[in-house]
Structure 1
Amino acid sequence: MASIRKRGNSYLLVVSMGYDHTGKRRAAQQKTVKPPEELTPKQKEKWLNEQAVLFERECKDTPLTVDKSTTLAQYVQLWLRDIAPDKLAKSTLARDKQDIDRFLPYLGGYKLTELRPEHFRKLYAELRKQTSQNTGMPLSEYTVEGVHACLCGILSDAMEGGFLNHNPAWRTYKYSGKKKEKLVADEGTMQKIITALENESIKYETYFKLIIATGMRRGECCGLKWSDIDYGYKSIHIQRNVVKITGEDIIVKDTKTVAGDRYVYFSPEMESLLKE
């Protein structure tokens, strides 16, 4: 894929053209692009990667092997079989399968080359009318946004594989309604929780107090081993995460990001609980 270099507010795409028959390097092809201003950092990264793929195809005259009869449902089967298992973590793939079950009844019959932005906007509107089987409440906007992200990812892979020359789902999602402010427990509430925990078993008291004191994620806390604790420095090395997928065994894996592999520190009170 073309390399991407930042230049002020724009980006330079550079495609290496290899060597000629004499062994001399051919001049690289360059193109400057500027992402739409309203994109989030993650959306900008995805947009730039798509532009890089398209520019490299343009420079190298890579033929698009588009099978105009391939439907979204057919491509999803191929994607689940050949691409997703090597690309995604099991937990991510399990979530994507839930999203796939939501959009296939609406879009699965369309050929990839027939998909248009209005198809996706109509899908999101229909999803907002549905209710969750677990809660009986309308699907959350977070769920609808997740379906959009899943579609964008699958269609980006279709584009890279030569099935499409652009991603038709790109920039078709718009947040509906007002974003709710996250509720954070105040000091008084936290003190009530801590007091209540003292009436629970030592296992649960230690587990929840450890999370409150250090801010580690629940999966990180479940993944701790006694060897991760250094009583001399009163520190804990967080280096793995535990994930539970419905219907499957518990999965122990590396932390979600490189920054997630870190050390946290505990108080003398926490030390006493851990030793107990």
Structure 2
Amino acid sequence: MATITPRTNKNGSVSYRIRVFGGRDSEGRQRFFQTTWKPDTAKSDSKNQKDLNKFAAAYEAECLAGAVVEQKVLFGKYCRQLVDDKQKNGAIKANTAVFYRGLYPLLHDIDGVPLPQINANVLNKLYRNLLDTPAVSCIKYRLRPKIDLLKLGDVPNKTQFSHKYGIAVSTLNTTINRNNVSQATAEKLSEALGLPLSQMFVSESSQITVSPSQIHKVHSLVSMVLSEALKDGLVTQNCAERVRLPKAEKKAPRYLDTDEIGELLQAAGSEPWEIKLFIYLAVATGARRGELLGLQWEDVDFTFGQLEIKQAVYYRPATGLYIDTPKNKSSRRFIRLPAEIMAMLREYKQEWERICSDCGSVYPQTVTINDGSGKPKEYTSDFVFFQTKCIGLPHAPDTANKWLTAVCKKNGIEHVNPHALRHSAASALIFGGVDPASVAKYLGHTSPQTIEKVYAHALEESRNRNAEVIGSFMFGRKKDNKPPIEKIG
């Protein structure tokens, strides 16, 4: 039942606060809805009392029906808590959470606005302001010249500093080299060493230029937040569905045609085994670079000629190298490989075992790497691609880019990155007549719609080939066996 409390205002007039108990939230805290009702001075006391009771009853019914929401929950606070909770519960990856947090400065116009007050007009205004006034500050921190982290930490080397203070060695290298680090990293180091942030770091602010494609990314976060707020009963609708977004230019994916693939594979043939095998696997599987670098020998099935993709290697400055599950549930998959690739894997495994044997006792049986939640986890040191400086550890994802850059530069080939090889594998499957659903499953996409959207050009070319096949079947035309692959760059 609604609670009605009379309140005397400064001017002597009387108003009534109506309060309704709305149950408890997910953390067990009581929720209340409240509003104010003012009597009509032209009416009698008895008439106003009847109107008050009628209004209170109607308001209580709306609250219990979910038509009224709490006004005190601010968008920014709810957004940050939601992202933190989703990361903690494993609903989103750590790198996705980092990506979302990087968008927070762009939400400054609605950060302090109560959730129920967010509407389509408010969001349209936010997006227009971001495009028209690209002046959002981005703050980075750089270690002061005379600061010696190892001396302050009272440790002889970076490894011991890392173990003592829980800071990744890669993050230490970035900081000690006086490169820019995030505010989170700077605060973590200053807190660990017990020194003020301003005493250890110099801060630099820059301006972010917001493009239409970034507006779409901001909108995806806003839409996700409002969708969750709707489930929590904090808003009555997701107004993000009615927003007018600026048109974002979409670049067609870069993929290699048959001749370019042949040129790249030939160039890879003269490279060390590790680089050669990575390039061949990237072309054959279309797997993401982190998925390939996360492979262990237990994931290679020589009997059935296939790989199991079940984990991936990631990197972010704040935590360094870590291992997590692949991008989504569909990304965990088995990939059948050509017999030639399996033969290469067998030969490479012999070379891999020889290298391990030469290392002797130096090569560890296990290595400790952080998992997706940032907790140290022990892994068997049988990664197919492993570091030689930090023996047994997998390579960081950027290493794959460096390999390809070096191979292309050495052989005078147009620059290509690992993701372009993924696009090339997808295009080859499409031109080969494989249906979008099968291509999506092979690449680890969530749905065939992703293939339809990303590879629309390749699908159109493939359908043109289908017409040629039907024409050849029906009218005896000579079939052109050369696939009409057009280079996109």
- The two structures share one fold, judged by TM-score above 0.5: yes
CA distance in 2, matches of 1:119, 1:139: 18
Instruction: List aligned pairs for 1:39-78, cutoff 5 A.
Output: 61-63=64-66, 66-78=69-81
Query: Residues 112 and 196 of structure 1: is their aligned pair in 2 closer, same or farther, counting only changes over 3 Å?
Result: same
Deviations along 1:15-51, one digit per CA (max 9) or x if unpaired, are xxxxxxxxxxxxxxxxxxxxxxxxxxxxxxxxxxxxx
Q: Report the Cα offset of residue 225 of structure 1.
A: 0.8
CA distance in 1, matches of 2:329, 2:81: 31
CA distance in 1, matches of 2:339, 2:241: 52
2:110 to 107, 110, 116: 107
1:181 to 239, 247, 252: 252
Contact 1:91 1:245 in 2 (8 A): yes
Q: Report the Cα offset of residue 232 of structure 1.
A: 2.8
CA distance in 2, matches of 1:81, 1:187: 45
Q: Report the Cα offset of residue 178 of structure 1.
A: 4.3
Query: Residues 257 and 124 of structure 1: is their aligned pair in 2 closer, same or farther, counting only changes over 3 Å?
Result: same
Name the residue aligned to 2:277.
Answer: 206
CA distance in 1, matches of 2:229, 2:82: 8
For the pair shown, which has the larger CA radius of gyration, 1 or 2?
Answer: 2
Contact 1:148 1:173 in 2 (8 A): no
Instruction: List aligned pairs for 1:19-98, cutoff 5 A.
Output: 61-63=64-66, 66-82=69-85, 85-86=88-89, 87-98=91-102
Deviations along 1:113-163, one digit per CA (max 9) or x if unpaired, are 222212212322344454998xx9954544321211111111222222222
Q: Report the Cα offset of residue 98 of structure 1.
A: 1.3
Query: Residues 261 and 80 of structure 1: is their aligned pair in 2 closer, same or farther, counting only changes over 3 Å?
Result: closer
Q: How many residues align?
A: 217
- Of the structure 1 ranges 73-82 and 151-160, higher mean CA displacement relative to structure 2 is found in 73-82
CA distance in 2, matches of 1:209, 1:253: 24
Q: Report the Cα offset of residue 265 of structure 1.
A: 2.7
CA distance in 1, matches of 2:83, 2:67: 22
Q: Report the Cα offset of residue 75 of structure 1.
A: 2.4
Q: Report the Cα offset of residue 164 of structure 1.
A: 1.5
Contact 1:145 1:173 in 2 (8 A): no
Name the residue aligned to 2:262.
Answer: 191
Contact 2:84 2:97 in 1 (8 A): no
- Structure 2 gap segments, 5+ residues each: 1-60, 139-206, 349-489
1:156 and 2:227 aligned = yes
CA distance in 1, matches of 2:105, 2:248: 24
In the alignment, residue 114 of structure 1 is paired with which amino acid? Q
CA distance in 1, matches of 2:235, 2:96: 24
Query: For 1:169, what is the secondary structure of its paired residue?
Result: helix
In the alignment, residue 115 of structure 2 is paired with which amino acid? L
Query: Residues 65 and 201 of structure 1: is their aligned pair in 2 closer, same or farther, counting only changes over 3 Å?
Result: farther
Deviations along 1:171-221, one digit per CA (max 9) or x if unpaired, are 314351543322221122222222222343221111121010121121211
Name the residue aligned to 1:259.
Answer: 330
Name the residue aligned to 1:37.
Answer: none
Q: Report the Cα offset of residue 99 of structure 1.
A: 1.9
Name the residue aligned to 1:241.
Answer: 312
In the alignment, residue 245 of structure 1 is paired with which amino acid? R
Deviations along 1:241-266, one digit per CA (max 9) or x if unpaired, are 33323322433233334433322233
Query: For 1:107, what is the secondary structure of its paired residue?
Result: coil
In the alignment, residue 206 of structure 1 is paired with which amino acid? L
Query: For 2:242, what is the secondary structure of its paired residue?
Result: coil
RMSD (CA atoms)? 3.2
Contact 2:135 2:208 in 1 (8 A): yes
Q: Report the Cα offset of residue 230 of structure 1.
A: 1.9
Contact 2:66 2:236 in 1 (8 A): no
Query: For 1:252, what is the secondary structure of its paired residue?
Result: strand
1:216 and 2:220 aligned = no
- Structure 1 gap segments, 5+ residues each: 1-57
Name the residue aligned to 1:227.
Answer: 298
CA distance in 2, matches of 1:203, 1:59: 66
Q: TM-score scaled by structure 2?
A: 0.39
Q: TM-score scaled by structure 1?
A: 0.66
Name the residue aligned to 1:49.
Answer: none
